[in-house]
Copies of this chain bind each other. A is one copy, B any other.
Amino acid sequence: MRDVAIIGVGVTKCGELWDKSLRDLYVEAALKAIRDSGVDRLDSMVVGCMSSGLFVGQEHLAPLLADYLGQCPIPSTRVESACASGGVAMRTGFLEVASGVSDVVLVGAVEKMTDVGGDEATYALATAADQEWEGFSGVTFPGLYAMMAVSHMEQYGTTREQMAAVAVKNHESGSKNPNAQFPIRITIDDVLNSVKVADPLRILDCSPISDGAAAAILCPADVASQLGKKQPVKILGIGHGTDTIALHSRENLAELASAGRAAQKAYEMAGKKPADIDVAEVHDCFTISEIMATEAVGFFEKGKGGPAVEAGESAIGGRIPVNPSGGLKSKGHPVGATGVAQVVEIVEQLCGESGERQVQGARTGLTQNMGGTGASSVVHILEAM
């Protein structure tokens, strides 16, 4: 198996981008990544997207985006794993290069969510849950994560204030990210007093609906410095895990088993442990998700994620800075694009390109991306070469 490196990255702003279509967003991120890398050709493309069918009435994205990027006739593959589509796209791009089938691969991911109304967007997102058991009974994602939050509070004594601390921390970081959808500072009181969505989650516990795209250029690690002009970042480890799609089939609602499994595999492959990680982006689609994710990847013991964020351990400057980009919460959550956007942030952090939100001396980073309530999860461990 060939070692694989990332030699270029690009993202768009996240937000309600009325003047840009899905194809515009993808091409914008892709061109930024190509320019960042300096490569003069692509051998293949991978496209991550959750539901262009329901959001913009367009399937067959892989050739569509190859076409709009002027890259036909190269192979182009679209992958979908709900909100983990970006993470799975990264892993598929890794397979292209690791196998020897392709040398220079563009992994791009995109979601255009604001072309439909709120009800339709909520329906589209709910197709990441089990339609026959969960969707059919009317439950949507804030409701599902609320049940997970209640379970975590009951088992470990996690508080609403601790969840609110995730939002406050991530908006603080996001305020330093020019691409963030909501670069605003907020307080614990703002979160606690914001409008209720699904008890105990308030609107400021939830990530927004976003348009956006992100892209990365992959190549064999041994030619990374010849092929590109950027400092290469090596993909040291990848883990991909699955869990039951319906929440009612899980043994423990307060645990993200797929993320734990994915992290374990990624650490093994990388020969690293949680203490080796200098900076991380994890999947904070709701504030409780970040608490559960930081426990699943081993940054904090089970049940200690809440106190840790409250104590500032995961802030920039803390023991293990989590979501310096602002996370899904402040930066935005174009669902299918998120997994690649996380990788972009970590690559920039490892290359010292993160400006005001730079984590000093970061050499090894981790991303954790998941779909639905964690039925699929992908973890990457990256290191500056």
Q: Are B75 and A61 in contact (CB under 8 A)?
A: no
Q: Any chain B CB within 8 A of the CB of A59?
A: yes
Copies of this chain assembled into the complex? 2
Q: Any chain B CB within 8 A of the CB of A113?
A: no
14 other contacts beyond A60-B375, A63-B242, A72-B243, with CB at 8 A cut-off?
A1-B101, A53-B124, A59-B82, A60-B245, A63-B243, A63-B245, A63-B258, A67-B249, A72-B244, A72-B258, A75-B242, A76-B376, A77-B92, A95-B101
Complex contacts, A74 vs chain B, CB 8 Å: 241-242
Q: Any chain B CB within 8 A of the CB of A62?
A: yes
Of the listed stretches A129-137, A165-173, A208-216, A343-351, name the one at the interface; the rest are far from the partner chain: A129-137
Give a binary string over A32-69; 1 marks a CB under 8 Å from any B CB, 0 the rest: 00000000000010000011011011111111101100
Give a binary string over A234-262; 1 marks a CB under 8 Å from any B CB, 0 the rest: 00000011111110010000000110010
CA distance A131 to B53 in the complex (A): 10
Complex contacts, A75 vs chain B, CB 8 Å: 91, 240-242
Q: Are B59 and A51 in contact (CB under 8 A)?
A: yes
Partner of A95 from the list B72, B95, B124 (CB cut-off 8 Å) is B95
Q: Are B127 and A73 in contact (CB under 8 A)?
A: no
CA distance A101 to B124 in the complex (A): 32
A-B contact pairs, 28 of them (CB 8 A): A1-B100, A44-B240, A50-B59, A53-B53, A53-B124, A57-B131, A60-B128, A60-B129, A60-B372, A63-B372, A63-B375, A63-B376, A64-B245, A67-B243, A67-B245, A73-B243, A73-B257, A74-B242, A75-B91, A75-B242, A76-B376, A77-B88, A78-B80, A79-B79, A92-B92, A95-B96, A95-B99, A99-B100
Given contacts A51-B59, A77-B81, A80-B61, contact A67 B101 (CB under 8 A): no
Q: Are B128 and A59 in contact (CB under 8 A)?
A: yes
Q: Any chain B CB within 8 A of the CB of A159?
A: no
Q: Any chain B CB within 8 A of the CB of A151?
A: no
Complex contacts, A332 vs chain B, CB 8 Å: none
Complex contacts, A88 vs chain B, CB 8 Å: 62, 77
Q: Any chain B CB within 8 A of the CB of A371?
A: yes
